[in-house]
Amino acid sequence: MKIGFIGLGIMGAPMSQNLKKAGYQVMVFDYSANRMEMAKAAGMELAENSHQIARECGIIITMLPDSPLVKNLLIGENGIAKDMKTGTLVIDMTSGAPNDSRDIYAGLKKLDIHFMDAPVSGGEPMAISGQLAIMAGGDVEDFERAKSLLGVMGSNVTWVGSVGSGNVCKLTNQIIVAVNIAGLAEGLMLAEKAGADTELVFAAIQNGLAGSAVMNAKVPMMLAGDNKPGFRIDLHIKDLTNAMSTGKLFDAPMMLTAQMLEIMKDLSAEGDGSSDHSAIAKYYERLGNAKLSK
């Protein structure tokens, strides 16, 4: 069966390439001519447009910046759902809003088209290595159908419940990651201001209770002043905005999320919207009038 892949950004490009390497027949589409050329060089079949993917592919993966774009692509006025065959499975791996996923599911169900939300965590390095964490929401039968395919792109593939649950899980993840990065920056700034060697502090605590995958991935970037995006500040703003909206619907306390959203908006206003979210360290450097990077 031919797999369609729509969206070849930082995450989508390596994810689609891993499917190709695993032996799947992959047809891709992206509005960027440069990205399409890179996909062609990787041996993938190029579609003229997303409608061609809808007509020819039995499983379609979308990886776009936000869920309203996915919603419009699939069930909007010129949506591609009407071009799909009955029984097609759409797997949206975009980080989006749970209610958008539920709306898409309902719209596609009327056409006997299956839908799952399956956002990912791990950033570009894990997308390249095929070791993403994938959190899937949808009908369990669809998850079982897609599990081996998802396993090519991720090392931890988990069904978390009905449609929309995948994005609820991803929003939970994004809150925890944001607060964790800020905690790392704040703690390291204390160490720096108090005269400690931040690299030695990192070495001392990374295998203790404070240690985490976030610490191991982001502290070296902070200390090197490396803001090359694995996950951009502006995308994290989008996720935290969706988290705040979802939290409001269910009267969930969101104090830390609100604070992190303001910090990231400040960074974006200062020109760091396209920087990696480890650039939260720059916010603390500005407030502390000290540098973490050497």
Please indicate whether residue 170 is annotated as part of the active site: yes
Residue 184 sits in the same domain as residue 110: no
Examine residue 272 and state whether it is found in any structural domain, yes or no. Answer: yes
pLDDT at 1: 82
Examine residue 131 and state whether it is found in any structural domain, yes or no. Answer: yes
Domain range for 275: 168-288
Q: Last residue of a domain, which of 114, 135, 162?
A: 162
Residue 56 sits in the same domain as residue 90: yes
Look up residue 201 and give its two tokens.
């502090």
Residue 182 sits in the same domain as residue 262: yes
Residue 172 sits in the same domain as residue 274: yes
Q: What CATH code is carried by the domain that includes residue 114?
A: 3.40.50.720
Look up residue 208 and give its two tokens.
């203790």
pLDDT at 273: 97
Residue 181 sits in the same domain as residue 259: yes
Residue 136 sits in the same domain as residue 245: no
Q: How many domains does the chain have?
A: 2
Examine residue 13 and state whether it is found in any structural domain, yes or no. Answer: yes
Examine residue 147 and state whether it is found in any structural domain, yes or no. Answer: yes
Q: What CATH code is carried by the domain that includes residue 264?
A: 1.10.1040.10
Q: Last residue of a domain, which of 162, 191, 226?
A: 162
Examine residue 294 and state whether it is found in any structural domain, yes or no. Answer: no
pLDDT at 134: 98
**Given 71, 170, 218, 238, the catalytic residue:** 170
Q: Last residue of a domain, which of 127, 162, 197?
A: 162
Over residues 11-69, the pLDDT tens digits come to 999 999 999 999 999 999 999 999 999 999 999 999 999 999 999 999 999 999 999 99
Q: Residue 204: CB partners within 8 Å, gap ≥ 6?
A: none
Q: Which residues of the chain have pLDDT under 50?
A: none
| Secondary structure, 3-state, the chain | CEEEEECCCCCHHHHHHHHHHCCCEEEEECCCHHHHHHHHHCCCEECCCHHHHHHHCCEEEECCCCHHHHHHHHHCCCCHHHHCCCCCEEEECCCCCHHHHHHHHHHHHCCCCEEEECCEECHHHHHHHCCEEEEEECCHHHHHHHHHHHHHHEEEEEEEECCCHHHHHHHHHHHHHHHHHHHHHHHHHHHHHCCCCHHHHHHHHCCCCCCCHHHHHHHHHHHHCCCCCCCEHHHHHHHHHHHHHHHHHCCCCCHHHHHHHHHHHHHHHHHHCCCEHHHHHHHHHHHHCCCCCC
Residue 145 sits in the same domain as residue 185: no
